[in-house]
Chains A and B, each alone.
Chain A
Amino acid sequence: MKYLWRLLPLGFILLLAGCGKQNLSALDPQGPVADIQFDLIKLSLYIMIFVIVVVFAIYLFVIIKYRERPGDTHIPKQVHGNKALEVVWTVIPIILLLFLAIPNVMQTFTLADVDVNEEEDDFVRVVVTAHQFWWEFEYPDYDVVAGQDMYIPTNTKIIIELEASDVIHSFWVPALAGKQDNVPGITNDMWLIAPQEGIYQGKCTELCGEGHWLMDFKVIAVDPDTFDTWASSMARTVDEEEEVNVVSAEGREVFEQNCISCHAISGEGGDLGPNLTNFGERSVIAGFLDWDENDENLENFIRYPTEKKPGNLMQPFPNLADDEMDALIDYLKSLKVLE
């Protein structure tokens, strides 16, 4: 639970720290989509437990009653079969399956329903692009691009469009919604709603290479006002930024020399790596790695990106001078949009 405490600086998280939830389990659904799915899981489980109980009962009865006893050499009657019984164990399973199949078909359509009324409905559209091995979240209606942390407003239908830049990945936030695949060349969609504020763990579930197992992300649900603040600060350009957030000019310079070709901040920079505009508010590095008290993990990650995240495509910077590194880290930590 140590790392939950480290979330404290993000003021709005305070509320959550209390409940100490992992928010990673499909068995503990936190939104309507996951609820639907959990209900179906339970329904299918109950039907299946019924089947198991019936089969096991007959099975135990038979092997106990008809076991060979010492000295028994009788030849059992050679029964051929029984038509009526065959019908029974054909029809009953069909009926049982219908109890599952019908709700399933209905819910399959419900979950595929991403239509919204552009004027009336309250919704946010997020384009999720998966890369080896990180996540990019674009909010086309807000002009915002974010990396690794997907901020969403609570109680709002989130329409998610899934894309991939290299191989197939899959977007899964167990506590909020089952997965859909990010397929190169194809755009898939899904929706979810988070009624409560919180941080929800997300994972890539399609084998996508060496770094697959570390391709984690977070969905962060905040109240709609906070979300609006977040989105508008994220959308600020560098020029506007200058006044708000000049902390480490030196660090900014190091960044511009080394990092900006791949990472963007406030609308300026490349897109080969995650956008870092709100990096100072991340709870983890690269989707999974704890920040250390003395920032060692961050420094290490920048110097040797594949050490903790094998397969990582970020270029290593082993020779950055110590003072440059310190300035860079100061700068990165200052990148906040919610304060």
Chain B
Amino acid sequence: MSYAKAQSKSAVWDWLTTVDHKKIGIMYLVAGAFFFALGGFEAILMRIQLMFPEASFLPAQTFNELLTMHGTTMIFLAAMPILFGLMNYIVPLQIGARDVAFPFLNSLGFWLFLFGGILLNLSWFFGGAPDAGWTAYVPLSSEYSGTGIDYYVLGLQISGAGTLIGGINFLVTIINMRAPGMSMMRMPLFTWSTFVASTLILFAFPALTIGLLLLMLERIFGATYFAVHAGGNVVIWQHLFWIFGHPEVYILILPAFGIFSEIISTFSKKRLFGYSAMVFATLLIGFLGFMVWAHHMFTVGMGPIANSIFAVATMAIAVPTGIKIFNWLFTMMGGRIQFTTANLFALGFIPSFVMGGVTGVMLATSAANYQFHDTYFVVAHFHYVIIGGVVLGIFGGAFYWWPRMFGYKLDEKLGKIFFWMFLFGFHLTFFVQHFLGLMGMPRRVASYLDGQGLNDMNFISTIGAFLMGVAFIIFVVNIFVSMKNRETSGDPWDGRTLEWTIPSPTPEYNFAQTPLVRDVDAYWHEKYEGDGKMKAAEPLGDIHMPNGSILPVIISIGLFISSFGFIYREHGVIWVAILGLAITFGAMFVRSIKEDHGYHIPVEEIKNDKGGK
């Protein structure tokens, strides 16, 4: 395809076929935000039901479906994709690359995620959503649930494949595509954490793939891995699920840690304290993350030896996490701390996450875990780490990188109102839940009886949830009212890393000339030790770009269609499954025999763009 031809696509077609990491990043953000709002709405419905004892706002079955979809949506379709969006947009810029290693696969990963997510949510309209919790424990999910679970299995299988592809893509990008001088030990922490999180994806998701495969074969083809009457064992599912599931929480939190490292360092105007300790701690957390999965299973009867080992291993993770906290504090120490909205999120994160972390250590105490497990104490804990960590990280990152990604700054005043309201609502919602759990309120209950002393705190908790909901609306409003605040400098925060060296809006090819990196915080180094401009590692020349392709959409649609054939196999539509798979494999076949040589952006064009700074 010629350059001119590449320029003249309709907007819709352009987005459907794009392989540009920036556009894919934005699509991840938009889709993730949509699912975040959906999951939040589901949470609010649950909280309304729990506002008063023995309420009848929602039937128990609907409640179970909401709680399952809320958890599944938030983890797989909101938090992870939003982080993927940020990674997609930012990581190539941070390492001085023009694109990711596999632009085509990058797009495929996105479309798989999206169609998987849509499939999962369609269950609402076709016989009910999955209702066995996001952990889908067998045999409840295998023998005692309806088609909702089929949607869960296939939806997650499809979007999980997308995630795995995305993970491999980031790994290769980070290993192979760094600009000259950008050694691993000069990479920004967000890139480092993306690297470690992607490694976790690579080694954790296959366990989920197998778990889902077994569940699917059991439900659709009558296999008996989990069927006790045929000698099956229900605990195998829990192992497979948590071998995936525990690393998954680190897949979420590590990128958030990376975001905070960037924000704290930028707005303290100081280099990150203990850079190598931070990198080491990230790696150690990633490694230990694989050793502790059974701390979710202390009560399942593994015996005291296994329980003790997993308890101690889990406690060990607190050590590298503590290292990170102290290094952030010491990054701020002696700095000049600016209270921008982005930094407020980082500053709100530290105490919130510490509270979630310490309850994590309490939960790791296996003998005490028998009291905590599966109660609201656990609900409080994981919301403290997920909202206090991941979600604050996402919002912080959004305010921080918004001008880079969208060319305008979000309004600081609205941002601060949003921050305080969200933070206050969050603590109000979840702090009391620690006590609810210990006072005898199990997790995943559709209601609770009157007269057990649980009423007041549940009421308070719901008020907090409303506040978070209103706060989120303020954020959405902010997105629209701020559009006029054009940001053209490209470097609104006095940034330290390469993503701030390029003009705003970001050109398609990112860097007119690949930069030469001379230190950690490459841009800061040039600003304060050099002449303020990045050195170029290559002469100005034509830039090669990959062609867009519609095949990722087709491959994903094929799997989407075939899922219905599997779900409604009893209605004799197995041919739909075959048709869908044929579409998918056909598209893959086309891809593999068609060579794609891409196109070049001519050097004149690049000069017109006012080139790099």
Residues A104 and B318 in contact, CB atoms below 8 Å apart = no
The CA of A48 and the CA of B365, in the complex, are separated in Å by 12
Residues B368 and A170 in contact, CB atoms below 8 Å apart = no
Residues A55 and B350 in contact, CB atoms below 8 Å apart = yes
Stretch at the interface among A117-125, A143-151, A183-191: A183-191
Q: Does B133 contact A (CB under 8 A)?
A: yes
Residues A207 and B133 in contact, CB atoms below 8 Å apart = yes
Chain B nearest CB from A50 CB (Å) reads: 10
Stretch at the interface among B20-28, B170-178, B351-359, B543-551: B351-359
Chain A nearest CB from B192 CB (Å) reads: 15
Q: Does B183 contact A (CB under 8 A)?
A: no
Residues A24 and B440 in contact, CB atoms below 8 Å apart = yes
Stretch at the interface among B37-45, B444-452, B462-470, B601-609: B444-452
Closest to A27 in B: B438
Given the known A-B contacts A97-B361, A184-B228, are A81 and B275 also in contact in the complex, defined by CB atoms under 8 Å? Answer: yes
Complex contacts, A19 vs chain B, CB 8 Å: none
Q: Does B528 contact A (CB under 8 A)?
A: yes
The CA of A201 and the CA of B453, in the complex, are separated in Å by 13
Residues B440 and A26 in contact, CB atoms below 8 Å apart = yes
Chain B nearest CB from A220 CB (Å) reads: 17
Q: Does A105 contact B (CB under 8 A)?
A: yes
Complex contacts, A216 vs chain B, CB 8 Å: 449
Q: Does B530 contact A (CB under 8 A)?
A: no
For the side of the interface on B, what is the size category? Answer: 35 or more
Q: Mark B246-265, 1 if CB is under 8 A from A, else 0.
A: 00000000000000000000
Q: Within residues 17 to 59 of chain A, which ones have a CB less than 8 A from any CB in chain B?
A: 22, 24-27, 34, 36-38, 40-41, 44-45, 47-48, 51-52, 55-56, 58-59
The CA of A162 and the CA of B336, in the complex, are separated in Å by 59
Stretch at the interface among A62-70, A227-235, A294-302: A62-70
The CA of A27 and the CA of B273, in the complex, are separated in Å by 41
Given the known A-B contacts A44-B362, A108-B308, are A75 and B453 also in contact in the complex, defined by CB atoms under 8 Å? Answer: no
Q: Does B335 contact A (CB under 8 A)?
A: yes
Q: Within residues 361 to 407 of chain B, which ones have a CB less than 8 A from any CB in chain A?
A: 361-362, 365-371, 373-375
Residues A207 and B329 in contact, CB atoms below 8 Å apart = no
For the side of the interface on A, what is the size category? Answer: 35 or more
Given the known A-B contacts A55-B350, A166-B144, are A183 and B234 also in contact in the complex, defined by CB atoms under 8 Å? Answer: yes
Q: Within residues 61 to 96 of chain A, which ones have a CB less than 8 A from any CB in chain B?
A: 62-63, 66-68, 72, 74-82, 85-86, 89-90, 93-94
Complex contacts, A105 vs chain B, CB 8 Å: 308, 311-312
Tell me the number of A-to-B contacts counted with CB atoms below 8 Å: 276
Residues A24 and B439 in contact, CB atoms below 8 Å apart = yes
Residues B330 and A82 in contact, CB atoms below 8 Å apart = yes
Complex contacts, B443 vs chain A, CB 8 Å: 205, 207
Most B CB atoms within 10 A — which of A36, A62, A66, A201? A62
Chain A nearest CB from B433 CB (Å) reads: 14
Complex contacts, A127 vs chain B, CB 8 Å: none
Residues B315 and A201 in contact, CB atoms below 8 Å apart = no
Most A CB atoms within 10 A — which of B304, B359, B375, B442? B442
Complex contacts, B140 vs chain A, CB 8 Å: 167-168, 207-209
Q: Within residues 142 to 195 of chain A, which ones have a CB less than 8 A from any CB in chain B?
A: 162, 166-168, 170, 172, 174, 177-181, 183-186, 188
Given the known A-B contacts A22-B452, A205-B374, are A44 and B332 also in contact in the complex, defined by CB atoms under 8 Å? Answer: no
Q: Within residues 128 to 186 of chain B, which ones have a CB less than 8 A from any CB in chain A?
A: 132-133, 137, 139-140, 143-144
Residues B329 and A80 in contact, CB atoms below 8 Å apart = no
16 further A-B pairs in the complex, CB-CB below 8 A; given A37-B368, A162-B301, A212-B445: A26-B440, A48-B362, A51-B358, A59-B329, A67-B337, A79-B271, A81-B275, A86-B277, A100-B315, A170-B299, A181-B299, A185-B228, A185-B232, A205-B374, A212-B60, A213-B446
Minimum-distance CB pairs A-B, first 4: A178-B370, A213-B445, A81-B274, A48-B358
Q: Please, could you name 24 A-B residue pairs with CB atoms under 8 Å apart, sorted by A?
A: A24-B439, A26-B438, A27-B438, A44-B362, A48-B358, A48-B362, A51-B322, A55-B350, A59-B329, A66-B333, A72-B336, A76-B268, A79-B330, A90-B322, A104-B366, A108-B367, A112-B303, A168-B140, A174-B371, A174-B438, A178-B299, A183-B235, A185-B233, A311-B61
Residues of B at the A interface (CB closer than 8 Å) are 59-61, 64, 132-133, 137, 139-140, 143-144, 228, 232-235, 268-271, 273-277, 299-301, 303-304, 307-308, 311-312, 315-316, 318-319, 322-323, 325-327, 329-330, 332-339, 347, 350-351, 354-355, 358-359, 361-362, 365-371, 373-375, 435, 438-440, 442-449, 451-453, 528
Residues of A at the B interface (CB closer than 8 Å) are 1, 3, 22, 24-27, 34, 36-38, 40-41, 44-45, 47-48, 51-52, 55-56, 58-59, 62-63, 66-68, 72, 74-82, 85-86, 89-90, 93-94, 97, 100-101, 104-105, 107-112, 132, 162, 166-168, 170, 172, 174, 177-181, 183-186, 188, 201, 203-213, 216, 288, 310-311
